[in-house]
Structure 1
């Protein structure tokens, strides 16, 4: 409320008080005596002429007339006072409304100023953290990584930019050096501490802040031995990445692109790999115990000696894959595609293979004891004879008769 408006309201209020006081004074000092003189006095002057009964009756009527006149005047004045009060109330409401609008505008301006100041601080922190990433001192680089993590938590606006920066930091500082190739048994070098820190921040990020249609890019990164336990790498691009010996226990890799990735000896126990693309990936001796690979694409993948016990491999595409001596005990391969796959000496004991496609698959010495092959397609008698079966193996009706 402005100073001028306050003065106007004070003046109006003072004027109204004066009006009330003036009316009361006018009634008491002028109007009431006048009305008394006008209505009662003539009757008193005729007291001697009128008898007592008529005199008192006329005087009472005159007094009532005076009272009625005063009431009329009071009513008129009250109406005027009400009008003034309404006017005063309207003025006051308008003043309060203006005051509320001004307060709201001030609050908005204060909020905007605070946001600008906060964004300025975040920008300053971001710039400093980026500078720290380029330091030759690993302690300073770690400080930059954790500073970026704090900014990502504080600012949704900068969250994804920071994830892209950290992903680029990993790719640039841990590029693929050479193709390790199948059968290479030497242990990968220990991952740099700052690379591991960046991966931890990426894996533990708040995924609800991720923008749609934006995916992490860790392709061609050499992150062998990385600890990505329970990391969220859903839909991430890990094409040709080296994850040899990586710890991916309960990691979320749903829909991830792992084309030709190296996962030899990786620990993927209970990992989520639904619909992941692992075409040509190397998974020799990988531990996929109870992993979920439903609908995953593993064509031409190399999984010799891998552990797939109790894994969910429903509708998984193993076309042309190498599962030599792989352990698939009690796994679910319902309607899996095993066309052209190398299943030699693989352990399918008590495995669900209902509706699986065995076209041109190599089942030589594969253990099918207790397995359920009912409803499978493209399975020949020759393939059954080359495998190990027992009385618990559930075969197709036609093959059972031929087996007998």
Structure 2
């Protein structure tokens, strides 16, 4: 029977929680005032004023002052607490409204990526990036949009790389189905934004095609470019950190004065490209095929050309490897560049 009564009382409180809360806030001040006066009176009847201030004519007055001070302090604390609750609730409501606005903006921006109009696609890219920038310094719960926007933009590039096969000879090659300006814009917002909001994310740009790309001064970290094609592109003064460029194909790519730290070019085919003035640390070109590649003035530190194939005109002038034969470089470059 006692259990049933407790359960019934609990259900009553739960069902009338809002009403009880409203009554609580409406009458809490009166409750505290009358409660404090009542307690003060009870203590007075038990001689608290004499105990505190002695049996003197002024004892009652001092006691009343003390009760009034306690009451005033309690009301101030209560007022601050209620105000904080109101501010917290308002903040919560604002966050809900803001999230709703972001959700709507995100949906509209993502929809633009499916447009046939280049201007609409570009608008969608910048709108998504703007959302990512805003939430990157905002509410912790909304920062997940940064990763979502990042993944959408990367997937967009990968999904718009098509493989075409020649029906006569069966030869296949990859092309980019979108205008260069679209891919250029995505790469710009990913790797040339001053806030580096995507810098701590792993970027998958494998099996893509980049043609006439210009991302000079870009910063790329933890990017997978495996089996990607770079054609007639410029990445001068760029920074590559812990990136994979394995099995890539590069033709007429300019990396002048760029920095490479822990970057793998293994099994890549690189031709007609420039690495002049580059800084390379802990990077490998294992089994890569190099044709007409210029490393003039490059700074090598623990750079390994193991089993590399130098087809023709690979220039190591003004580097630590100058004067060594191709065979010596591909067999001993790891120790020569320590």
User: TM class by shorter-chain length?
Assistant: 0.7 to 0.9
Match of 2:184 in 1: 196
| Structure 1 residues 82 and 330: CA distance shift in structure 2, 3 A | same
Match of 2:172 in 1: none
Give the aligned length: 280
1:8 positional shift: 7.7
- Alpha-carbon displacement from aligned partner over 1:228-264 (angstroms, at most 9, x marks no partner): 2122221201001111221111222221111111222
For the 8 Å contact 1:132–1:141, the answer to whether it is kept is yes
Match of 1:25 in 2: none
Match of 1:242 in 2: 229
Q: Partners of 1:5 and 1:190 in 2: how far apart?
A: 67
- Secondary structure of the structure 2 residue equivalent to 1:283: strand
| Structure 1 residues 279 and 240: CA distance shift in structure 2, 3 A | same
1:280 corresponds, among 259, 267, 270, to 267
Please, what TM-score do these two structures have when normalized by structure 2? 0.73
Larger radius of gyration: 1
- RMSD between aligned residues: 3.5
Contiguous gaps of at least 5 residues in structure 1? 14-74, 180-187, 334-347, 363-372, 378-404
How do 1:5-404 residues align onto structure 2 when only pairs under 5 Å count?
5=29, 76-156=56-136, 157=143, 158-177=145-164, 191-205=179-193, 209-210=197-198, 214-323=201-310, 324-333=312-321, 348=322, 358=328
1:154 positional shift: 0.6
Contiguous gaps of at least 5 residues in structure 2? 1-24, 38-54, 137-142, 167-175
- Secondary structure of the structure 2 residue equivalent to 1:293: strand
1:95 positional shift: 1.1
Q: Partners of 2:26 and 2:298 in 1: how far apart?
A: 75
- Secondary structure of the structure 2 residue equivalent to 1:289: coil
Q: Partners of 1:251 and 1:227 in 2: how far apart?
A: 11
- Alpha-carbon displacement from aligned partner over 1:18-54 (angstroms, at most 9, x marks no partner): xxxxxxxxxxxxxxxxxxxxxxxxxxxxxxxxxxxxx
- Higher RCO (Cα < 8 Å, 6 or more apart): 2
Match of 2:9 in 1: none
| Structure 1 residues 273 and 211: CA distance shift in structure 2, 3 A | closer
Please, what TM-score do these two structures have when normalized by structure 1? 0.62
For the 8 Å contact 1:173–1:195, the answer to whether it is kept is no
For the 8 Å contact 1:160–1:211, the answer to whether it is kept is no
For the 8 Å contact 2:286–2:308, the answer to whether it is kept is yes
For the 8 Å contact 2:199–2:220, the answer to whether it is kept is no
Match of 1:17 in 2: none
- Alpha-carbon displacement from aligned partner over 1:186-212 (angstroms, at most 9, x marks no partner): xx9995222211111111246754485
Q: Partners of 1:285 and 1:189 in 2: how far apart?
A: 25
Name whichever of 161-170 and 282-291 sits farther off: 282-291
Q: Partners of 1:259 and 1:178 in 2: how far apart?
A: 23
